[in-house]
Amino acid sequence: MLATLTDRHFSDPNWLFERKLDGVRAVCVREDGGEPQLWSRNRKLMNAAYPEIVAALAEQGGDTFAADGEIVAFDGGQTSFARLQPRMHLSDPARARATGIPVYYYLFDLLSYGGTDATRLPLRQRKELLRRAFDFQGPLRLSRHRNAEGERFLAEACGKGWEGLIAKRADAPYTGGRSRDWLKFKCVRDQEFVVGGFTPSTARAGFRSLLIGYHAAGRLCYAGKVGAGYDEATLRALGDRLARLRRRTSPFAGRVGEPDARWVEPEVVVQVRFSEWTGDGRLRHPRFTGLRTDKPAADVVRESA
């Protein structure tokens, strides 16, 4: 179940409000006492990247369950997608642990337990069942919420430097896909974009900036270039990957005014934070925050309230 962005912030006793976490969405599933499985939004198994979370789910949950939550790492007191990056793409549990980056799994919904479907139950009842189903020790955490006071809570969230809030209708069932029963209240602007090219650099490894866009009406629309936010390891690894995706023509609809642009197949998805959209559809002050492997490039659109 996915949330819809809105700029109409409100307070309502029929809604719950949770902290918006800057991590990786994951549904955990366990059947008949087998190994719990962590699945990404695009149905990729993530057990190898987060073995301590899998172990905690095996010890604290029942034999059969499905729950929804967000895997995060912290940079100080803030959840940080960038901090999570070194673990996201690992396929060896030993290497994942060896990174030394602690990860936590914040659970916020229960889809089933003991073989009984919970998705048709009201959210408030599902949250009560979730609270009883797990001990929430070690890397497992309960995503706490506040009732009714959406506007006051959002002001506090923005003051603390959080991403924002997720507002959820308290009596709504759990349904697949994007819904207006879940709404995003954002303190900062960020979203996924597709890489369609890059500009080369003579001053540093990899590239100077990424040329990014989003899909609309079957076309890849140019949103601007991103030259900030990369560390040296990312520049090298992403630069090597883009070199393998080179093509002769631009994948963007319309002209891109970068005379030294190098074009690539539009397959790589990145997360970018920015201050605002300009009148001509470009990003102002964009900054790269990480690679996304949990969303297909074809699904990336411009997010608007």
pLDDT value, residue 305: 80
pLDDT value, residue 89: 86
**Which structural domain range is residue 178 located in?**
1-19+144-187
pTM for the whole structure = 0.84
pLDDT value, residue 188: 86
Give the residue ranges of the chain where pLDDT is below 70: none
**Looking at residue 112, which CATH number applies to its domain?**
3.30.470.30
Do 195 and 214 share a domain, yes or no?
yes
Catalytic residues: 20
The domain tally of the chain equals: 3
Do 251 and 286 share a domain, yes or no?
yes
**Looking at residue 156, which CATH number applies to its domain?**
3.30.1490.70
- Domain membership flag for residue 164: yes
3-state SS track over the chain:
CEEEECCCCCCEEEEEEEECCCCEEEEEEECCCCCCEEECCCCCECHHHCHHHHHHHHHHCCCCEEEEEEEECEECCEECHHHHHHHHCCCCHHHHHHCCCCCEEEEEEEEEECCEECCCCCHHHHHHHHHHHCCCCCCEEECCEEEECHHHHHHHHHHCCCCEEEEEECCCCCCCCEEEEEEEEECCEEEEEEEEEEECCCCCCCCCEEEEEEEECCEEEEEEEECCCCCHHHHHHHHHHHHHCEECCCCCECCCCCCCCEEECCCCEEEEEECEECCCCCEECCEEEEEECCCCHHHCECCCC
pLDDT value, residue 304: 85
Do 136 and 33 share a domain, yes or no?
yes
pLDDT value, residue 204: 82
Do 42 and 134 share a domain, yes or no?
yes
